[in-house]
Amino acid sequence: MDIMVEPSERLKGFMTYAFAEVDRAKDEARRNGFKILDFGVGDPTEPLYQGAISGMQKGADKHSRSGYPSYVGMKEFRTAASEWLNRRFGIKADPETQITTTAGAKEAVFHLPFAIINPGDSVLMPSIGYPPYKAGTVFAGGIPEFYQLKEEDNFLPSIDEIESILKRNSRIKMMWVNYPNNPTTAVANADFFTSLIALSKKYNFVIASDEAYTEMYVNERPHTLLEYSGDWSNLIVMQSLSKRSNATGIRLGFAFGGAEIIGLYKKLRTQIDSGVANAVQEAGIAALQDEAHVDEMRKIYDKKREIMTSALDDAGIKYFANSTFYVWAKVGPDSINFAKNLLEIDKQNKIGINVTPGKMLAIGDAPQADSYVRFALVPSLGDTELAAELIRKMPKR
């Protein structure tokens, strides 16, 4: 007799795939012979930095008899990360006590609440944002609490709104921020960071800053949260090589912050896995020591951004493209319908464009999200130019 295995209650809450409706439409368009120019998922299609590949190949030989890697990462990688942070942001993070290796940012984001919150505690997060903020909180037994990201506030949280939430909910133990921001492309300023840090001290909560996009800027280089405080005791930052070095496929990043909170996260990691492969960390060392490939990466995205935003201008579509490799286009009021129509934008030549509806990026109550779609500038330059020409032919909005 077959035994029925039921999913846990927490897993059930995440089994409905948010993108299912658009994916069905995309699959149908492909079945009907359409070529889909895919600006949906933010996964770079440019190759991994060649120096990282060489570093990984050499690392495989170097560590062929090393056994399990360190739970917290090779000292050499943590040192390379520390040196990069000093060059890039002018901060000094101790590689022994204030940095730990992670398997990319997603794993780090998901697991952090397990080290900090107890069941019933709350975690504050953006209502439009990266789904693991919510998933990690729920699986750790926490309760998500949401703040709004509004166009009129330049997609920065209102400090007044944050304090109002903190006064109402005394069980908030942690808050997620993400700047440069996915999907809105907003960049945080010094006033925001300093005001938020002051609130965190006043109300005694941890600020967790997801900074996976700091190297994907347009003009002015973004800052890290830790530049704005001499006391990191309740601050932690997640950094990743995924976007910086087109390294999504090797899963490597690092967390840095106050020694106590990093210490807790290190202890948690010993219960989760057996560390990141040493050869992968060797790739990361090579990548962190080279900025030329990052400059080239930005130039490629600058060109794609220029192509796409020029087309959106011609189509009369307002957009935001301040940083990251996204364009946040205001198409309201029905982002899903807009996205589905793009999938068959050129019926004669059977070419479609896939984008992410803003509604699908709302992890909390965020009705404003349905007015936008997100373009991830990951297709080739040729496909980006083709998509731009098709958008120019749309009826002007």
pLDDT at residue 27 greater than cutoff 90: no
Closest CA to 172 of 125, 213, 129: 125
**What is the band of 2 on the pLDDT scale with cuts at 50, 70, 90?**
confident
Per-residue pLDDT band for 17 (boundaries 50, 70, 90) equals low
Residue 16, pLDDT above cutoff 70? no
191 and 231 in contact (C-beta within 8 Å)? Answer: no
Residue 19 — very low, low, confident or very high, per pLDDT cuts 50/70/90?
A: low
* Cα–Cα dist 182/274, whole Å: 30
Crossing angle for the helix pair 159-168 and 190-203, to the nearest 10 degrees? 10
- Among 352, 351, 311, 303, smallest CA distance to 329 is for 311
Strands across the sheet containing 235-240 = 99-102, 253-257, 235-240, 206-210, 172-177, 122-126, 143-147
- What is the average pLDDT score of the chain? 95
Among 210, 187, 195, 178, residue whose Cα is nearest residue 112? 210
**CATH match of 9-47+293-392 with 3.40.47.10:** no
Mean pLDDT of 333-340: 92
Q: For position 1, what pLDDT does the model report?
A: 63
Per the CB < 8 A criterion, the answer to whether 236 and 258 are in contact is yes
> Which one has a higher pLDDT value, 26 or 298?
298
Answer yes or no: is pLDDT of 146 > 70.
Answer: yes
Please determine, for residue 166, whether its predicted confidence score (pLDDT) is greater than 90.
yes
Q: Which of 109, 113, 89, 227 is nearest to 178 (CA)?
A: 109
Task: Tell me what pLDDT residue 307 has.
Answer: 98
* pLDDT higher than 90, residue 12: no
Query: Per mean pLDDT, which range of 6-20, 205-219, 237-251, 293-307 is the poorest?
Result: 6-20
CATH 3.90.1200.10 matches 50-289: no
> CA nearest 91: which of 243, 233, 223, 266?
223
Do residues 31 and 37 make contact, with C-beta atoms less than 8 angstroms apart? no
pLDDT of 238 higher than 80: yes
pLDDT digits (tens, 9 = 90+) for 76-108: 999 999 999 999 999 999 999 999 999 999 999
Give the residue-averaged pLDDT of 43-50.
92
Domain coordinates in residue numbering, the chain:
9-47+293-392, 50-289
